[in-house]
Amino acid sequence: MSNYKQQVSLLLQVLPEVAKEPIFALHGGTAINLFVRDMPRLSVDIDLTYIPIEDRKTSFKNIIDGLDRIKTQLEKMLLEASITLKRDKLKLQITTVKAQIKLEVNQINRGIMDDTVRLPLCEKTQEEFDAFCAIPVVPLGQLYGGKICAALDRQHPRDLFDVKYLLENEGFTEEIKKGFILFLLSSNRPLHEMLHPHFIDQRETLINQFDGMSPEPFTYEDFEKNRKELIKTIYQNLTDKDKEFLLSFGEGTPNWAIYDFERFPAVQWKLRNLVKLKNANPEKHEKFVVSLKEVLC
């Protein structure tokens, strides 16, 4: 756990500079475990959402400018650190003798569902690392909607661990379901594959990329149980209206009256690809729609 702790220590030096940039909001595991929860596990990445909704060129310019400002400030503070701005990936890599972390802005999922919430660092992290900061975090529905889709897509033990806490506490609320549907529409995978995922064997990942992150036991049996429970919970909570909307989107004619997600760049991108497929290869698109119907029924 010591290396993870060194990464968290570095992360906590970086976050106050990130918080000064009003165009960014925190999402992902760090937002959940160090700000929403009381550090049930460590988290070592800084994942950011670009708040404004603008065209891609304008967004990327503003994101890079924001990252450059953060880099400049960090170089004044962390004199021994190597800080690299990877412009094509919208990423900062911060390396010291003891640790390395990355700070990354999501290229596709830009914009927020509702107002950000400025949250203080949780008490346990404050005490253990003798640090304090507060930072804007994406709305709870968006935060966990993204986390659930990540859990279905890559099925990383970290994501399922975070989902476990969600199911045991807030549950799959209407707000979180709305965020889930937003990220479902933004996924690289077809909708039916997200809703009915092929299970990935993550035994080695659990050992190599999770063990040491939490003092709480989280076995592979726990992982499998929570993966199944998540999928079951989603199906139990999708209403006829939800299914109607997802099917209309899959057909390339979304009913925005049900969920008004038209403004989000990631949703527009996914829809364009669906319409392109429908026009170029109607037979393949029809198979996709049939698969989606089978999953939703």
Where in the chain are the domains?
A: 2-138, 142-296
* pLDDT at residue number 281: 98
- Whole-number Å distance between alpha carbons of 198 and 185: 18
Query: Is residue 2 scored above 80 in pLDDT?
Result: no
Evaluate if residue 1 carries a pLDDT over 70.
no
Residue 37: the pLDDT is 98
Whether this prediction's pTM lies above 0.85 is answered by yes
Mean pLDDT for the stretch of residues 45-67: 98
SS3 letters across the chain: CHHHHHHHHHHHHHHHHHCCCCCEEEEHHHHHHHHHCCCCCCCCEEEEEECCCCCHHHHHHHHHHHHHHHHHHHHHHCCCCEEEEEHHHCEEEEECCCCEEEEEECCCCCCCCCCCEEEECCHHHHHHHCCCCEEEECCHHHHHHHHHHHHHHCCCHHHHHHHHHHHHCCCCCHHHHHHHHHHHHHCCCCHHHHHCCCCCCCHHHHHHHCCCCCCCCCCHHHHHHHHHHHHHHHHHHCCHHHHHHHHHHHCCCCCCCCCCCCCCHHHHHHHHHHHHHHHHCHHHHHHHHHHHHHHHC
pLDDT, one tens digit per residue, over 180-209 is 999 999 999 999 999 999 999 999 999 999
Topology classification of domain 2-138: Beta Polymerase; domain 2 (3.30.460)
Residue 147: C-alpha distances to residues 1, 177, 182, 206, 234 (Å): 23, 12, 12, 17, 13
CA distance 39 to 158: 13
